Amino acid sequence: MRTEWKKILLIAAVFLAAYYIPFGHTRVQGAILEAFGMLQEYAQRHVLFCLVPAFFIAGGISVFVSQASVIRYFGAQANKVLSYGVASVSGSILAVCSCTVLPLFAGIYRRGAGIGPATAFL
């Protein structure tokens, strides 16, 4: 099926779902309020306390850790035992959850770390 028809069918399905959802029903209203409450809790707790510090740490790695030291410890010519050991220990210390360690992973990978040690860090 062509992509234009898929888009039209998706728009029609969303319209029909919005048309027939009983927004006046208390259970639907409660579900919508609960969804926004969960979004607010996520924004307050996870984004401010996990993602923002992870971006600052990733920026600190990019600014203060030289590319030569990243390549020396995590590059292709590095000792594999030392490289994977340092990556896994430092990743476990800095990691709070998977979405906060991704900016850190990207920071060391862009600095020249190999995919293996960067994945071990992840």
- For the segment 33-52, the average pLDDT, to the nearest whole number, is 87
Q: pLDDT tens-digit profile of 74-119?
A: 887 888 888 888 888 887 777 666 677 787 788 888 888 888 888 8
Q: pLDDT tens-digit profile of 66-76?
A: 888 888 888 87
The pLDDT confidence band at residue 122, using thresholds 50, 70 and 90, is: confident
**Based on the number of CB atoms within 10 Å of its own CB, is 55 exposed (0-12), middle (13-18) or buried (19 or more)?**
middle
Q: Report in angstroms the alpha-carbon separations of 74 from 10, 48, 67, 114.
A: 46, 30, 10, 6
Query: Which amino acid, one-letter code, is at 112?
Result: G
How many independent structural domains does the chain possess?
A: 1
Among 11-20, 23-32, 37-46, 58-67, which is the least confidently predicted range? 58-67
The torsion of the CA quartet 19, 21, 22, 23, rounded to 10 degrees, works out to: -90
* pTM of the shown model: 0.54
Helix, strand or coil, per DSSP, at residue 46: helix
CA distance 121 to 99: 13
Q: At what angle do helices 98-110 and 80-94 cross, to 10 degrees?
A: 140
| pLDDT value of residue 95 | 61
> Mean pLDDT over all residues of the chain?
85
Residues in the chain: 122
Which residue range(s) make up the domain with 57? 3-121
